[in-house]
Amino acid sequence: MTNHALSGAQIVIECLKREGVDTIFGYPGGSAIPMFDAILDTNIRMILSRHEQGATHMADGYARETGKVGVALVTSGPGATNTFTGIYTAMMDSVPLIILTAQTTTPNLGKDAFQECDTCGMTFPIVKHSYLVKNTNDLTRVMKEAFHIAQTGRPGPVLIDLPKDILAGPCTAPFIDKMDLPGYTIPTYADEEAVKQAAEYIKKSKKPLLLAGHGAMISGAGKWVKELAEKLNAPVTSTLLGLGTFPATHPLSLGMLGMHGTVYANKAVLDCDLIMSIGSRWDDRITGKLDEFCKDAVRLHIDIDPAEEGKVLQPHVFMCGDAKLVLEQLLPMVSKLDTEDWIKTVQTWKKRYPLTYPKQGGLRMQHVIHTVYKQTKGKAVVTVDVGQHQMWTAQFFGADYPRQLHNSGGAGTMGFGFPAAIGAAFGNTTDWPVCCFVGDGGFQMTLSELATAAIHKLPVKIFVLDNKFLGMVRQWQDLFYDKRYSGVNMEGNPDFVKLAESYGIPGLRIRRSADAERMIQKALAYNDGPILIHCECEKEDNVFPMIPAGAPISSMITEPPKTQLEKPTGST
């Protein structure tokens, strides 16, 4: 079929429809006008953000929530550059995005025309792939390929740069279904020999530990992870992004491992004789000092990305494939292990070192998060920003379901949490509320999206956990830099309740622990759009347990230290 009547912009929209896109997030500008014009004639929802970074994080939140591709549409120049933080965030966490950036006309490329920038050149390191379309007839192919690449294999952001004359020009190319991408292969099942070898190692293990990562969640492998854990009788720990893949309330669950992970998960890492990563990439937040991480244990690694083999640590067996399919291969090869003693030990640790927080003093972020968890019975979509409250959410909101907890993990992007909540709310098909935990620092980076939440009356509960500090940096300065606080005081914060009200969003305030129960109940019961809950929290609370960056897991700190600690050697 040919489309003589359609312009480039109409073709792009038609391709979006064919890919099943019903919602896009965007912000217009001169070069993007043809796109925004074409959208008017479709039933695709265009959600207008207040900043392009917001639109990108919304698309990201939408993608994480639904598992579908998130789409952002912005203009050229600053419109494009404002998306970069969002693109990088998605790249680090393997989130499928399509970023449509408009561009100046093709004759103007490279001439410093108004709002021209080399968008593709500037984003090469942070995209899975990108296109600069210079011929209108390439559009159908590019759109097809982009969606395919974004959501298959290890997902990631794909950027399409669209010059205005390409959007305006007529396109006669047919829509296509077939693609010719000889350089792109999608791993499915792993090499049978490798899986057999892994099974042999597992059979010999007395103290196995499974590690569920984001890859397991993306692959939809939750059911298989559970089946394997129960079949072997092996405990399961999760990375930050893997939380929810294996239910937190399952007796074999150890919660999150790593820098601010549970004591029992980290003890299990220290003591296990075999660790199997299912779709995690041995991030430095979980390994601590690499030379000492599981150095005497057998290390098995399942990953869909062949380049993850040996990138950080050398596994005994690497199984390249889709987590779900590889577990399908592995399951019939293994049987129940003799892990009675191991499980007993792990359970003892769980009892002896539970996650706790001080009950005295002012309002604690942990208390707010845990109360929301209890009141929703864990049935809420949760998006989080970055910092102390993020770690406490990982600790005190025990996710039982995949795609329930949305974090900027790899990038640690402050400003992610709130727009991601908006995106997640648009994608949410459950009757669960969307709860956003955000610090006073991160919230102020993207709070202009309050308008977006307000106009669409999104059922988002915005918990601003305000300690008037950039808490995580302050914690480091407290523990490692002689309490020399520098650049962390958030003096000048607005009155967040009044701020919300000025957008037409009701605000509540919690100042005392004693009020938390009642106010959170009120917030959760509110059903006429977004609500902001300003939680004035204890100013100088620290997150424990903690493994200083670059230190071995054995140097875990479980309570406030009495003396000044050595400066960490690891990155950030």
Residues of the shown chain interacting with another protein in the complex, contacts defined by CB under 8 A: 120-121, 124-125, 128-130, 132, 134, 149, 181-184, 305-307, 309-311
Nearer to another protein, 128 or 324 (CB): 128
CB of 191 to another protein, least distance (A): 16
Nearer to another protein, 315 or 419 (CB): 315
Catalytic one among 19, 52, 145, 538? Answer: 52
| Cis preceding-peptide flag for 545 (omega within 30 of 0) | yes
**Contact (CB, 8 A) for 268 and 349:** yes
CB of 249 to another protein, least distance (A): 37
Q: How many residues does the chain have?
A: 572
* Cα 211 from Cα 426, distance rounded (Å): 31
* Cα 126 from Cα 189, distance rounded (Å): 27
Catalytic one among 58, 84, 91, 164? Answer: 164
Nearer to another protein, 181 or 455 (CB): 181
Nearer to another protein, 116 or 385 (CB): 116
Catalytic one among 115, 151, 329, 388? Answer: 115
Token pair in block for residue 379: 């049935």
Token pair 């591709």 in the structure block, residue: 69
* Cα 86 from Cα 123, distance rounded (Å): 11
CB of 301 to another protein, least distance (A): 14
CB of 186 to another protein, least distance (A): 12
Interior/surface letters 450-463, b for 16+ CB within 10 angstroms, e for the rest: bbbbbebebbbbbb
CB of 183 to another protein, least distance (A): 4
Q: Which residues have CB under 8 Å from 509's CB, separation 6+?
A: 497, 519, 533, 534, 535, 536
Q: Which residues have CB under 8 Å from 458's CB, separation 6+?
A: 422, 425, 426, 434, 452, 529, 530
Catalytic one among 114, 311, 374, 567? Answer: 114
Nearer to another protein, 65 or 161 (CB): 161
* Cα 345 from Cα 267, distance rounded (Å): 10
Closest CA to 344 of 352, 335, 354, 355: 352
CB of 307 to another protein, least distance (A): 4
Closest CA to 480 of 396, 372, 570: 570
CB of 431 to another protein, least distance (A): 40
Task: Tell me 557's DSSP state.
Answer: B
Nearer to another protein, 183 or 492 (CB): 183
Nearer to another protein, 77 or 153 (CB): 153
CB of 185 to another protein, least distance (A): 9
User: Is 114 part of the annotated catalytic residue set?
Assistant: yes
* Cα 325 from Cα 328, distance rounded (Å): 5
* Cα 209 from Cα 346, distance rounded (Å): 11
User: Is 562 part of the annotated catalytic residue set?
Assistant: no
Nearer to another protein, 163 or 247 (CB): 163
Strands 405-406 and 434-439 come out as unpaired
CB of 3 to another protein, least distance (A): 24
* Cα 59 from Cα 232, distance rounded (Å): 39
User: Is 223 part of the annotated catalytic residue set?
Assistant: no
Nearer to another protein, 114 or 124 (CB): 124
Sheet holding 381-384, edge to edge: 405-406, 381-384, 434-439, 460-466, 531-536, 507-510
Cα dihedral 165, 170, 176, 178 sign: negative
Nearer to another protein, 306 or 358 (CB): 306
Q: Which residues have CB under 8 Å from 298's CB, separation 6+?
A: 201, 205, 273, 274, 275, 316
CB of 109 to another protein, least distance (A): 11
Q: Per DSSP, what are the bridge partners of residue 102?
A: 162
User: Is 426 part of the annotated catalytic residue set?
Assistant: no
* Cα 215 from Cα 222, distance rounded (Å): 10
User: Is 490 part of the annotated catalytic residue set?
Assistant: no
**Contact (CB, 8 A) for 548 and 565:** yes
Nearer to another protein, 273 or 305 (CB): 305
Token pair in block for residue 385: 């920003």
CA distances for 371 relative to 14, 393, 484, angstroms:
46, 11, 33
Query: What is the residue type of 118?
Result: D
**Contact (CB, 8 A) for 526 and 455:** no
Catalytic one among 217, 319, 445, 472? Answer: 472
Token pair in block for residue 97: 């995005």
CB of 159 to another protein, least distance (A): 11
**Contact (CB, 8 A) for 288 and 259:** yes
Q: Catalytic positions, please?
A: 52, 114-115, 164, 472
